Structure 1
Amino acid sequence: MPRLFIGLELPGTQARALAAVAESGPGLRWQTPGQLHLTLRFLGELSAASSAAVQRQLAALRWQAFTLQVSGVGYFGSPTRPSILWAGLADTAALQALRLRLDALLAAELAPDPQHFVPHITLARCGSGAGSPAEFLACHRQLQLPVWAVTELCLFTSEAGDNGSRYQVLARYPCTLPLGDAHCGAADQAPETGR
């Protein structure tokens, strides 16, 4: 069974800009533009019946478009043995609200996610010999990319490959309410309550 997750695709401009920060170094496996994405909820391996139930729930989800902006970088792991280098996001209020909506929506089908949700875009996976992330952090701490509108969720499949995981969009779920016209920073508005 393929592994599934719910996430966001990145616009090509943002994906190419993030891929451009890749630096040569031991123990680092950088993501290609096609691998870059933002995971909202990892689902794992699901049976065909569970996958179909999740897809029905996602199709019924009502949510409002919002904006996101890549801002800054960070890492997971220890300062001497990082596991992942990532790009952060400037304002995640709407993203966090959407994640909570997804958790509630999927509660009947899936066990709660044991991982605390930290919005990020994985840039590189670090193996042995990767060393300290200090230079990477210093070089890219001012990273900031243009704002983009999030107007659809994606259900992805993930399969391991020789050059890292391969991700494919299984289904797309567009927003039911457009980006608010009142101000461009609609990212601080919670998605509308479903009926």
Structure 2
Amino acid sequence: MIRLFVGLELPNEVKQSLLMMGSGVDGARWQALDQLHLTLRFIGNLDPVAAQEVRLSLQGLSVPAFSVTLQGMGLFGKPRAPRILYVGVSNPAPLIALHEKIDRRLIRAGLAPESRKYIPHVTLARFRGRSLRAAGYVAQHMGFSSQAFDISHITLFQSHLGHEAAAYEVVERYGTA
């Protein structure tokens, strides 16, 4: 099986600024430099034939160029038992539109539509169990804002799950108009 998702690669300067925030929360497993990205559409596990259909369905995908600024923080899950600590985006509308465009193409390729509401974000840390400091950390860093960066392409990634952390491999890049 091939585990896929579509996302945005982040500029190295933005990744470095995110890495500098990676401490001070009990129970957090911080993302490494090569794990930082912004997911546009999680696809999941596919057989090789379906994975090839996904690749073909995304060819020719184009969107008007736009820029992204990461801003603010949040938690998915309960404040004392979070699952994910994330950085949000200042203007999610272009990303939501791109997510919907990708989702339509994947549906035509035979995949089920996205079932969860799309919230553009970059995962900073994952949790197992309780964290007493996560909500305070979010409140302390709510004013975070990255430099704006232009989107030049979207990326189809393959995710390789491991004992410690997932490794992401670029499968293909698709240009923007």
Can you list the C-alpha shifts for 1:119-177, whole angstroms capped at 9, x where unaligned?
Answer: 110000011242242221122111011000011010001111233111111111111x2
For 2:60, the equivalent position in structure 1 comes to 60
Q: Is it true that 1:10 corresponds to 2:6 in the alignment?
A: no
Q: Which moved more, 1:126-135 or 1:78-87?
A: 126-135
For 1:31, the equivalent position in structure 2 comes to 31
SS in 1 for 2:137: helix
For 2:152, the equivalent position in structure 1 comes to 151
Paired residues of 1:82 and 1:131 also in contact (CA < 8 A) = no
Q: Counterpart of 1:20 in structure 2: which amino acid?
A: M
Q: Counterpart of 1:77 in structure 2: which amino acid?
A: G
Gaps of 5+ in 1: 178-195
Partners of 2:83 and 2:55 in 1: how far apart?
A: 31
SS in 1 for 2:59: helix
Q: Which moved more, 1:55-64 or 1:149-158?
A: 55-64
For 1:40, the equivalent position in structure 2 comes to 40
TM-score by length of 1: 0.86
Q: Is it true that 1:161 corresponds to 2:169 in the alignment?
A: no
Partners of 2:144 and 2:112 in 1: how far apart?
A: 36
- Sequence identity, in percent? 36
Partners of 1:146 and 1:83 in 2: how far apart?
A: 26
Moved over 3 A (4+): none
Shift of 1:35: 0.5
Aligned residue-pair number:
176
Partners of 1:20 and 1:164 in 2: how far apart?
A: 19
SS in 2 for 1:88: strand
Q: Counterpart of 1:74 in structure 2: which amino acid?
A: G
Q: Which moved more, 1:52-61 or 1:28-37?
A: 52-61
Larger strand proportion, structure 1 or 2?
2
Q: How does 1:112-131 map to 2 (within 5 A)?
A: 112-131=113-132
Partners of 2:99 and 2:139 in 1: how far apart?
A: 30
Partners of 1:131 and 1:25 in 2: how far apart?
A: 8
Q: Counterpart of 2:166 in structure 1: which amino acid?
A: S
Gaps of 5+ in 2: none
Shift of 1:33: 1.2
TM-score by length of 2: 0.94
For 1:174, the equivalent position in structure 2 comes to 175
Which of the pair has more CA radius of gyration? 1
Shift of 1:53: 1.4
Partners of 1:89 and 1:62 in 2: how far apart?
A: 21
Q: Counterpart of 2:140 in structure 1: which amino acid?
A: C
Partners of 2:158 and 2:24 in 1: how far apart?
A: 28
SS in 2 for 1:53: helix
Can you list the C-alpha shifts for 1:51-109, whole angstroms capped at 9, x where unaligned?
Answer: 11111111121222111001111001111211110001000111111111111111122
